[in-house]
Amino acid sequence: MCGLVLLLSDRRASRDGIGRDDSFLPGIVFEIMAPIESVVTAPFSFGHRMWMDYFALVRVREENTSLHVEIDQLQEENLQLREALVASGNLDRIVEMRSGFETPMRAAEVVGQDLSIWFRSVLLDRGQAAGIYSGMPVITTGGLVGLVTATSPHAAKVMLLQDRQSAIDGIVQRSRARGIVHGHGDDALVFELVVQGDDVLPGDVVISSGLGGVYPKGLRIGEVIEVSDPGGGLLRQARLSPAVDFGGLEQVFVLLKRSVTMDLLYGMEGDRPAGADGKSATSKQ
Amino acid sequence: MIKCLQLFAVALLLLVLENGLAVFIPRYWLPDIGMIFVAGLGLRARFVPGLWLSCAFGFVSDCLTGSFRGEHMLIYLVLFAIAYIGNRQVNFSGVVRFAAVVCALTFLEGLGFIFFGYVFRETGLLPISFHYGWWVRLFVNVACAPWILDTFMRMLRRGDSDTSLRSSESFLSKELNR
């Protein structure tokens, strides 16, 4: 009965957008488990880093040489694009716009993974005390990671993009074709509801569109690996390789600015304690 | 009571250790500690403490995973009840039979999550690409369950003053010596 009541109330909370920031018992579980997981996971992570940084560096010299060549090519291309922008008089305007989009971020360590095969989430070592609240997007240098779904004073839970509940509006960077990126619970993502005539090709990069207001625009989601045509109807779908290595997540950045949509869902700005608006953030995007 | 708490703590510790191992091993290839713990309780523990422990472990799992609160709790309670009642009707002793029970419970657990996902989260039915992980997890659970349960039973064997849980013998050693 207790389980059923919890399940129904949590489902209702999820639908009504009440959020999970103020739950007492789960908060206690977070507070106890996060430090323990942090301590226990540390030696394993250290061993993994040692292996990856020292023993698994076979062929790194050749890779380094080819990367240098690639960097030279990209720098050349970058220079040409800058020249083109300056020539069109747009560079100053773009720089000015970009400064307006700067969002405060908070770095956090991943201390625990969701081992259930049915859900995809991670546990962070920072929570409300660091200004992290439900509804805030989480990113890495690679791209978009997911969304904070529950917090306690010193821990937070993040639903990854791969979770089956996750859905995000995305666009193909090259052709601006629009669709929804869904998690399917496994390693790949699915780019759904793409209109049949839209231009989507393997190798295309999909970024967040900003529509829906949950995630900021322009964050990298993944790369198209194959396009399929299920049923031959009006819509197509594509499989994406995520931009982020979700299995190897160690450090992430939480964007401390929650969207208006999320404020409406999880509670308004005024409901959050002072200092939670990101003014105390240490890093900038 | 103390024995119950000890057992619960050992289960949590195994869960945390498994979390560390997940850095190296893909999560599909790690056993479902919670499910095996509940299966073991169903076969070896008394009804009331077993029910409480299943409930508590389900709650912790709900907090640490992406499920709704109460989802693991309900599924673990049902699995515990099935294992407990089934054990009274059919003799589940023996490694092979226990592995069969774990196999069946893992499958039922999966069906439970699919059901809750379909009804409460509207995530739809399971995508075909997901089946691989489910079958791998089932295989790993069956392979690892006797050893994990043995760890729990060794915990229970230490000191017999607390009778809230009934077994006092190493499960694996007992079964393998048959």
pLDDT of residue A99: 56
Contacts (Cβ under 8 Å, ≥6 apart) of B138: B103, B106, B107, B110
Query: What is the chain A residue with the closest CA to B18?
Result: A115
d(CA B68, CA B60): 12
Nearest-CA distance B6 → chain A (Å): 16
Tell whether B134 is within 8 A of chain A (Cβ): yes
* Mean pLDDT value of segment A88-115: 72
Given A40, A117, A186, which is nearest B16 (Cβ)? A40
Task: Judge contact between A212 and A169, C-beta under 8 A.
Answer: yes
**Which segment of A98-112, A209-223, A262-276 scores lowest on mean pLDDT?**
A262-276
The fraction of chain A above a pLDDT of 90, given in percent, is 12
B-contacting residues in A 52-111 (Cβ below 8 Å): none
Tell whether B115 is within 8 A of chain A (Cβ): no
C-alpha B64: how far from chain center: 16
Q: Check whether A18 has a pLDDT greater than 60.
A: no
What is the pTM assigned to this prediction? 0.75
Instruction: Identify which has the larger pLDDT, A264 or A33.
Output: A33
**Which segment of A72-76, A204-208, B61-65, B168-172 scores lowest on mean pLDDT?**
B168-172
Nearest-CA distance A28 → chain B (Å): 10
Q: Check whether A276 has a pLDDT greater than 50.
A: no
CB under 8 A, 24+ apart: contacts of B18-25: B18/A115, B19/A37, B19/A40, B19/A41, B19/A112, B19/A113, B19/A115, B20/A40, B20/A41, B20/A43, B20/A44, B20/A45, B21/A44, B22/A113, B22/A115, B23/A41, B23/A44, B23/A45, B23/A47, B23/A48, B24/A44, B24/A47, B24/A48
pLDDT of residue B94: 75
**Which segment of A225-239, A270-284, B25-39 scores lowest on mean pLDDT?**
A270-284
What do you get for the CA distance between the two ends of chain A, in Å? 46
Taking only the tens place, the pLDDT of each residue in B94-120 is: 778 888 888 899 889 888 888 888 887
Q: Which amino acid is at B58?
A: G
Instruction: Kindly list the residues from chain B whose CB atom is less than 8 angstroms away from the CB atom of residue A7.
Output: 68-71, 73-74, 116, 120
d(CA A132, CA A105): 10
B-contacting residues in A 25-44 (Cβ below 8 Å): 25-26, 29-30, 33, 36-37, 40-41, 43-44
Helix (H, G, I), strand (E, B) or coil at B140: helix
Contacts (Cβ under 8 Å, ≥6 apart) of A73: none
Does the distance separating the beta carbons of B32 and A44 come in below 8 Å?
Answer: no
Complex ipTM value: 0.76
Longest dimension (CA), chain A: 69
Tell whether B73 is within 8 A of chain A (Cβ): yes
Expressed in percent and rounded to 5, the helix, strand and coil fractions of chain B are 75, 0, 25
φ/ψ of residue A241, rounded to 5? -90, 120
Q: Check whether A2 has a pLDDT greater than 80.
A: no
Does the distance separating the beta carbons of B63 and A33 come in below 8 Å?
Answer: yes
Expressed in percent and rounded to 5, the helix, strand and coil fractions of chain A are 35, 30, 35
pLDDT bucket at A159, cuts 50 / 70 / 90 = very high
Q: What tokens appear for A89 in the block?
A: 């008089």
What Rg value do the Cα atoms of chain B yield, rounded?
A: 16
- Candidates A1, A4, A116, A193: best to mutate against B (most CBs of B within 10 A) is A116
Number of Cβ atoms within 10 Å of the Cβ of A18: 17
Pairing of β A178-183 and β A144-152:
unpaired
Cα four-point dihedral sign A127, A131, A137, A139 = negative
d(CA B102, CA A109): 35
CA distances to B1, B80, B138 from B99, rounded to whole Å, are 28, 15, 10
Taking only the tens place, the pLDDT of each residue in A212-245 is: 778 888 888 999 998 888 766 778 888 999 988 8
pLDDT of residue A264: 67
Q: Check whether B14 has a pLDDT greater than 60.
A: yes
Total length of chain B: 178
List the one residue out of A180, A190, A196, A184 whose CA is nearest residue A235: A196
Given A44, A119, A163, which is nearest B20 (Cβ)? A44
Nearest-CA distance A4 → chain B (Å): 6
Does the distance separating the beta carbons of A2 and B28 come in below 8 Å?
Answer: no
Does the distance separating the beta carbons of B132 and A7 come in below 8 Å?
Answer: no
List the one residue out of A205, A192, A188, A200 whose CA is nearest residue A237: A192
Does the distance separating the beta carbons of B32 and A118 come in below 8 Å?
Answer: no
Nearest-CA distance B174 → chain A (Å): 30
Does the distance separating the beta carbons of B64 and A123 come in below 8 Å?
Answer: yes
Q: Check whether A198 has a pLDDT greater than 90.
A: no
Tell whether A9 is within 8 A of chain B (Cβ): yes
Does the distance separating the beta carbons of A119 and B65 come in below 8 Å?
Answer: yes
Does the distance separating the beta carbons of B66 and A163 come in below 8 Å?
Answer: yes
pLDDT bucket at B134, cuts 50 / 70 / 90 = confident
